[in-house]
Chain A
Amino acid sequence: MQNITFKQTFYGIIALILAIVFPLIIANTAAQHVVILFFMFGMMGVAWNIMGGYAGMFSFGQVAFFGIGAYTSSFLLIAYQVNPWIGLIIGGLVAALVAAAIGYPCSDLRGHYFAIASIAFGEIVRIHFNNWKLIGAAEGLSLPMLDEGFKNFMFHSSKLPYYYIMLAFLIISLIVCYLISTSKMGYYFRAIKEGHDVAKVLGINVVWYRLIAIMVSAFLTAMAGTFYAQYVLYIDPESVMLLPISIQIVLISMLGGAGSVMGPVIGALILIPISEVTRMWLGYKGTGIDMIIYGFLITLISVYQPKGVWGLFSNIGKRAK
């Protein structure tokens, strides 16, 4: 649809350089942590965007894929000493399989109906994991401490390696999203979003392309899940399976601009620091003020900037030309 212009390349390179040098200048680990979360949610936003922003399936159950990714690699590591990098791939495949299994029967659902089905799916997965003895049920899984190093996907002395791995993941997901959006498949996705039945009449295999969108999205989201498990070294259903995480992912994409490659990254860049900082400053007392602000923010964005800020940027760019 749109080829990358010289200007976009220029800004992209600047953003990349900034992202690479940031942790070298700012040694504060709390700040680095926020940026890592920004990359991680940015990646999940990009993944959501593939199925939500392009193919029009508004999933509020992404956390299930995130959790499946985190649990698959962690369980394989604990029970069978499977290397986390292999666990990462297997986790992605498992998530994609589950996504196909749930996506197929839901292939005729649209709009609200799909959204609620995805919530129901997320809740079923959460309840199941909460009671599944094999994977620790509600107590969760603690990952074993392995030797530090890239091979084990585990670093104890510094956050820097995690930082760069997550940045690489984010870039990978952006490339995937860009390739899809500029390919024929991207056009099919948009056609399905604009008119499900029309797309069908035009001969697009709607069921098939919707499945692809869901599976790619699930795979990428599960990658973020494995990363999270390796980063925090402890997971339980409360931390990787809760509905608010799904909502956060949707919100990031909407705020940034659903249906644009970079939108979710912008959304995460705005939302994650705000929610992390308000949590650090106000949330520790447990008074709920941070969440009141968050809820208010969601409402405000939906009312005043429902198409996302990315549209704002690109409109300004167009007018300037």
Chain B
Amino acid sequence: MGEQLLQQIVNGLLIGFMYALIAIGLTLIWGVMNIVNFAHGDFLMVGMFTSFWLYTLYGVDPLFSIPVCTALLFVMGLLIYRFVVSKVMSGPILAQLVVTFGVSIFIANLAVYLWTPDFRLIAKPLLSGTWDIGGIQLSIPKTVASIGSVIISLFVFLFLKKAKTGKAILATEMDREAALLMGINTERINSLSFGMGAALVGIAGAFLSTYYYIYPQVGGSFGLIAFVVVALGGFGSIEGAFIAGILVGLVQTLGGFFFDPAYKYAIVFMIYLITVWIRPQGLLGW
């Protein structure tokens, strides 16, 4: 029992780091422009497929396709911001909510059309197998992805705190009007944040493709979980998203372990409802 429990905790942490990485991009977009990107999970799917095709067609290992995924998703994010999201920024809040649903359905089904709804797997990634540490199984690709998640989150955190552009993003997040008055081009910050948010989830997609099934609808559940993570952590808070991601991963696996695996997502959503009820601003929100 003790060892099993420890194993579950490890599994929870490993999935939690992945949730954290996915959610960081989402929280950035949400925090800066107050847009809920329902297509976030589909961006993840595009990242996974990019990595899959680079592997299948050119034999590039997912680890090395990270830069391509990052760049591609960044451009995709910029374009979607420029041609879709920016147009609803001043519109009714309902349109802002619905528009990314449209983008989501469009992207997911474009993938169905192009690549069929089949499940795929990268057959022989560089990273595979497990480490056995005192009876605890540690999946190597998941561990590497977790380390990647920590490094990237740290990088984003430092970028926002130290770099000039990062500070401009934070300023816009706090007070758009004031930022504008201080000479910050908030429109540029918007598109940059959207691109960055997409690029970050693209990286997550590359990591995820080393050990997870790749199919057009894969973004659905990951996207919904990412919302819970963002809300739990506090909207726009990178540290919050990171901590909440790990929490959600733990809750999900331990909930499945102690109750019923079929209910693991239901437990996560329950946690979300309880959180917004008690503390609407999230754990680290203000």
Contacts and interface: CB of A to CB of B under 8 A. Distances in A.
A106 interface: yes
B277 A247 contact: no
Nearest to A303: B87
Interface stretch (B66-74, B142-150, B183-191, B224-232): B224-232
Interface stretch (A1-9, A124-132, A170-178): A124-132
Chain A at the B interface: SS class: helix
B100 to A, nearest CB: 9
A58 B263 CA distance: 26
Given A120-B273, A127-B266, A131-B263, A108 B98 contact: no
Interface stretch (A78-86, A205-213, A294-302): A294-302
B213 interface: no
Contact of A119 (B30, B112, B227): B227
B11 interface: no
Contacts, number: 144
Interface residues of B, number: 46
B97 A287 contact: no
B99 A116 contact: no
B109 to A, nearest CB: 4
B123 interface: no
Contact of A120 (B93, B99, B117, B228): B228
A291 B101 contact: no
A295 B105 contact: yes
B262 A130 contact: yes
Interface in A83-116: 102, 105-106, 108-109, 111-113, 115-116
A215 to B, nearest CB: 18
A288 B113 CA distance: 5
Contact of A302 (B99, B109, B227, B260): B99
Given A113-B231, A127-B266, A288 B112 contact: yes
B95 A286 contact: no
Nearest to B90: A306
Given A123-B224, A292-B106, A112 B97 contact: yes
Interface of A: 52, 58, 60, 102, 105-106, 108-109, 111-113, 115-117, 119-121, 123-124, 127-128, 130-131, 244, 247, 250-251, 254, 258, 286-289, 291-292, 294-303, 306-307
Given A106-B276, A113-B231, A127-B269, 9 more contacts: A113-B280, A117-B272, A117-B273, A127-B265, A288-B110, A295-B107, A298-B106, A306-B92, A306-B95
